[in-house]
Amino acid sequence: MKKITMQDVAEQAGVSPKTVSRVINNEPRVSESTRKKIQQIIDELDFQPNKSAQSLAADRSLLIGLLYDNPSSAYITNLQAGVLDTCYQFGYGLVIHPCQNDTPDLLPKLRNLLASSRMDGLVLTPPMTENQELLDFLESTDTPYVLISPLDDARTCPIVSLDDVSATKQSIQHLIDFGHRRIGFILGTRQRSGSEMRFLGYKQALEENNVSFDESLVVQGDFTFDSGVVAAQQLLRHETPPSAIFASNDYMAAGVMKAAAQLRIPIPYELSLCGFDDTPLAMYMTPTLTTVRHPVEQLAREAGELLIRQLKKYLQPFKPEELQSKLIIRDSTGPVNK
Amino acid sequence: MKKITMQDVAEQAGVSPKTVSRVINNEPRVSESTRKKIQQIIDELDFQPNKSAQSLAADRSLLIGLLYDNPSSAYITNLQAGVLDTCYQFGYGLVIHPCQNDTPDLLPKLRNLLASSRMDGLVLTPPMTENQELLDFLESTDTPYVLISPLDDARTCPIVSLDDVSATKQSIQHLIDFGHRRIGFILGTRQRSGSEMRFLGYKQALEENNVSFDESLVVQGDFTFDSGVVAAQQLLRHETPPSAIFASNDYMAAGVMKAAAQLRIPIPYELSLCGFDDTPLAMYMTPTLTTVRHPVEQLAREAGELLIRQLKKYLQPFKPEELQSKLIIRDSTGPVNK
DNA sequence: CTGAAAGCGCTTACAG
DNA sequence: CTGAAAGCGCTTACAG
């Protein structure tokens, strides 16, 4: 099975290779009739342009990179699925790069990766989105990038993010509707847009419902299970303990469950609990966890699209999707126990 | 910052590009002195060969593919980490390909991917390892592949797998040591090497301890949470219910926890429970789950190495690692309650 | 052990 | 709207 080249297509179509190239790259200035004819032959022959040759000639790798440093593998696989989807669509390849944001060799390693893979652009996820040194480096090398859920938008680069504020407000409203007035809040790692937005949503929901904000019901966590346990212990030993707890992610919510079990506080009867992220965990815990599901895959798809649009020349117009987080009500929340 | 090419290195070294190429590809027939000199200049200039040019000229993509169809994202990210590790080491790129083994368009999609990415080889995971049509296709296109944990080794291709038999025996022994004699067993999906090996380990452990095998204590599951719930309900309503249950993975073990909670059977006091895989879940459940941790990352690293060794010509000798599964004892197992 | 020549399959920059 | 020529940065196949 001999490989089919652009040359073959050109010969069959009776045109020059350059014209075939124009069709493949969706360039303008080709007559509709020749475009059709060439496209038909491409389809017939099932011709696939050789990526290596394209890359070499055009000095573009046709590769984009995805950087992440995240303990949640469910989040990562969703992210990958979304970006991959866009990559397939536009004929790009994906280079995944798990890394650790806080190690000194992040930059050298990335420099290396960039030098060898020559990625045309990068998708960055928190906390790399806040790594100024990294961003400066990318800008110094003219590597386009897009940020997913960055803390602020000081950089003039494309950004995609989710509205955690209103998603959290929905959760808190759900609790308030059940009669809860003392609602504990476990913060995630500060300086992460998710943490800040979730906290804001909490405060706004309280305010809109004329529930007074009590600072002693807010405890710092760091998105880990263990921090959830500790935070919950603190909240549940409060002299006037909350009747409900909102944990800023599912792992911390799982920690709350553990702490509640240790203190023999049954969920949801004596304590309602909300998580965030809808990790697989949420379904598998007993009781199942009320949480918020994020459209991570679509978010990643959009991030990929935003990036690739910067890289390609001739493209169709863009149709952004509606990204909506969703409150998933399960067994861990219920009416307040007066 | 102008890009450094092989030509630059050759000029500085006073040799031909071909000789530089020899050094880069670790080819024999280069004098030690010139090799050293060239290597030094490569390091000084921080020269990285252009992958696209290498691929185009040598007609190899320097890419390997990883195919998986697995609900456990923790497993997937471990897999990726391992294969990536090998890829970095040998200068290969990784193309990840999540797919669904049971859809009819798996093959067309793969054919497409193979045509466009031109991967030099593939790493396959269950259940694709049993997809004869897929394997036949790969062989017909002369695409080298390696299988991770296949059911049988009928194909003459490299294989890596783990010893689930003895890992399971350890778990069951652990239960027996606690005094359990009636031990329920929840099977995973049949025709998966993991399921079969775990069941074998169970039977062997019973036999070695002179515990009689009771078929009514073996229930079919399919590795999902829900199947775990159903299986546990069946086991726990047995007229002489087991005092311990071994679930063939953590998800099903989580299902057992749910069923036990519904029936108000406290774990581990009235029921001991063992899972398998050590997913994050195991740590986050209440009580925490006794389970078996697999060295998935090393396994994947080795699979990658086995594959790349088929592809490259000039390599150092191989040093296989010791792959050992480990019983992790947590809170879900305890002495039998007489 | 080393090198000169040709070529991989595309795209660029230009010309018409 | 279309094409001829040159070149991207390597490796192959050969020669010495």
Q: In angstroms, rounded to a whole number, what is the distance separating the alpha carbons of residues A175 and A14?
A: 70
A43 touches B: beta carbon within 8 Å: no
Distance CA B218, CA B292 (A): 20
Query: If you average pLDDT over every residue of chain B, what do you get?
Result: 92
The answer to whether B1 and B8 have CB atoms below 8 angstroms apart is no
- Separation of CA A112 and C1' C5 in angstroms? 33
120-179 in chain A: CB under 8 A from chain B: none
DSSP calls for A33-71? HHHHHHHHHHHHHT----HHHHHHHHT---EEEEEE--S
Domain B164-293 belongs to what architecture? Answer: 3-Layer(aba) Sandwich (3.40)
The answer to whether A315 contacts chain B (CB < 8 Å) is no
Structure tokens at B26: 């670790």
- Among A52, A91, A118, beta carbon nearest to B56: A52
Strand C and A96 CB separated by under 7 Å: no
Q: Which residue is nearest to nucleotide D5 (CA to C1')?
A: A18
Give the nearest nucleotide to B34, CA to C1': C1
Chain C nucleotides near the protein (CB, 7 A):
1-5, 7-13
CB contact under 8 Å between B77 and A81, yes or no, is no
Q: What is the pLDDT of residues A128-186, one digit of tens each?
A: 999 999 999 999 988 999 999 998 877 888 999 999 999 999 999 999 999 999 999 99
Please state the domain extents for chain A: 6-49, 60-162+296-323, 164-293
For residue A136, count other CB atoms closer than 10 A to its CB.
Answer: 12
Mean pLDDT of A318-322: 75
A264: left (phi over 0), alpha (psi -120 to 50) or beta: left
- What distance in Å separates the CA atoms of residue B290 and residue A332, rounded to the nearest whole number? 24
Q: How far apart are CA A5 and CA A13, in angstroms?
A: 13
Contacts (Cβ under 8 Å, ≥6 apart) of B29: B22
Q: Does A93 touch chain B (CB under 8 A)?
A: yes
Residue range A75-127, pLDDT digits in tens: 999 999 999 999 998 889 999 999 999 999 999 988 888 887 889 999 999 99
pLDDT band at A288 (very low <50, low <70, confident <90, very high): very high
C1’ D12 / CA A53, Å: 17
How far: A151 CA to D6 C1' (Å)? Answer: 48
CATH class of B6-49: mainly alpha
Around Cβ B320, how many Cβ atoms within 10 Å?
10
pLDDT 10s digits, B230-266: 999 999 999 999 999 999 999 999 999 999 999 999 9
Q: What pLDDT, in 10s, does the model give residues B252-305?
A: 999 999 999 999 999 999 999 999 999 999 999 989 999 999 999 999 999 999
SS3 A114: helix
- The string of pLDDT tens digits covering residues A212-248 is 999 999 999 999 999 999 999 999 999 999 999 999 9
Q: Considering only CB atoms, which chain B residues are within 8 Å of A258?
A: 284, 286
* A252 vs B288: CA distance, rounded Å: 15
User: Would you call A308 helix, strand, or coil by DSSP?
Assistant: helix
* pLDDT above 70: percentage of residues in chain B: 98
Enter the tokens of residue A134.
């990294």
Determine the Cα–Cα distance for residues B139 and A289; give it in Å rounded to an integer.
Answer: 47
For residue B60, give the nearest of B33, B82, B92, B84 by alpha carbon.
B92
Contact status of A210 with chain B (Cβ, < 8 Å): no
Which pLDDT belongs to residue B78?
95
Task: Give the pLDDT band of residue A322 (cuts 50, 70, 90).
Answer: confident
Judge whether residue B183 has pLDDT over 60: yes
Q: What is the pLDDT of residue B276?
A: 97
- Strand D nucleotides with an atom less than 7 Å from a protein beta carbon: 1-5, 7-13
CATH topology of domain B58-162+296-323: Rossmann fold (3.40.50)
Residue A30: is its pLDDT beyond 60?
yes
Percent above pLDDT 90 for chain B:
71
Q: What is the distance between the alpha carbons of residues A197 and A186, in angstroms, rounded to a whole number?
A: 13
Task: Give the residue nearest to nucleotide D6 (CA to C1').
Answer: A57
Q: Is the pLDDT of residue B2 over 80?
A: no
Percentage of residues in chain A having pLDDT higher than 70 = 98
> Within a 10 A sphere around the Cβ of B295, how many other Cβ atoms?
18
Query: Who among A53, A61, A283 is closest to B225 (CB)?
Result: A283
Sign of CA dihedral B191, B195, B199, B200: positive
Distances (CA, A) of A68 to A96, A126, A196, B43: 8, 7, 20, 29
Would the pLDDT of B95 be above 80? yes
- Whether A183 contacts A149, CB under 8 Å: no
Q: Give Cα B52 distance to the centre of its chain.
A: 30
Fold of A60-162+296-323: Rossmann fold (3.40.50)
Average pLDDT of span B205-222: 97
Q: Is the peptide bond before B287 cis (omega within 30 degrees of 0)?
A: yes
Let me know if the fold of B58-162+296-323 is the same as that of B164-293.
Answer: yes
DSSP category for residue B290: B
pLDDT of residue A338: 59
